[in-house]
Amino acid sequence: MDPEAEQAARTARESLDLAFHMSNILDTGLDRHTLSVLIALCDLGLNPEALAAVVKELQREPSPMPIVPTSSSPH
């Protein structure tokens, strides 16, 4: 990898680390991967306020109950 690409990758990692640290301080509940995806969507031009509204709505919805297969025992 050339030095410029290495520097760009390092800067991107440091930026994500800083954003994740701020996210933790603000107690957003976002993991590093989700935060990375949200930042990428903002970089693509999506409205950050609209993304924040979607995240808040998704966090407000109850988590789906896991599907647990029931075993049918013969009588």
Q: What is the pLDDT of residues 24-43, one digit of tens each?
A: 999 999 999 999 999 999 99
Give the residue extent of every domain in the chain: 3-60
**Segment 1-30 mean pLDDT:** 93
Amino acid (1-letter code) at residue 22: M
**Segment 54-66 mean pLDDT:** 83
Cα(18)–Cα(53) distance, integer angstroms: 22
The answer to whether the Cα torsion of 26, 28, 29, 30 is positive or negative is negative
Percent of all residues in the chain with a pLDDT value above 90, rounded to a whole number: 72
Residue written as tokens 């999506």? Answer: 46
Least confident of 14-18, 47-51, 59-63, 68-72: 68-72
Model confidence pTM above 0.85 = no
**pLDDT for position 22:** 96
For residues 41 and 34, is the Cβ–Cβ distance under 8 A? Answer: no
